[in-house]
Amino acid sequence: MKRILHHMIVPAIMPAIFFAIAFTPVQVFGCRARGLMALLTAFVSGIAAVSMTVIAKKRSRLGDKGAIWWMIAVLILMIPVVAIIIMA
C-alpha cells in the first residue's frame, strides 16, 4: 500500500491540479493567468518526471525490482506535459 501511495497517488496530484486549472472558466483567473498557471504546473511536473527518471535508471542498473514503480510515477507525471503540448 505504501508503494501505491508514494508512486501513484502522490504523483497523480500534479495532473489533477493541471486539469483543474485547464477546465476552470476563463472568467475566474483570466486567460493569461490561467495559461501561466497551467504552464507552471506542467513545467514542475516535467522537472519531477526527469528527476524520477534518473532515480529509476540508477535503481534499474543496481538490479532493484522496485524501479518499475518509479517509472510508473514518471508516466503519471508526464500527463500534464503531454497535455500542454496537445493543447498548445
In total, how many domains does the chain have?
Answer: 1
Q: Which pLDDT does position 5 carry in this prediction? A: 83
Task: Tell me the pLDDT tens digit for each residue of 25-36.
Answer: 999 999 999 999
Q: Provide the domain limits for residue 21.
A: 2-87
Sign of the C-alpha dihedral, residues 78, 79, 82, 84? negative
pLDDT at 4 over 90: no
Which H/E stretch holds residue 69?
helix 67-77
pLDDT at 71 over 90: yes
Q: What is the pTM of this model?
A: 0.89
Q: Which pLDDT does position 73 carry in this prediction? A: 93
Mean pLDDT across the stretch 57-86? 93
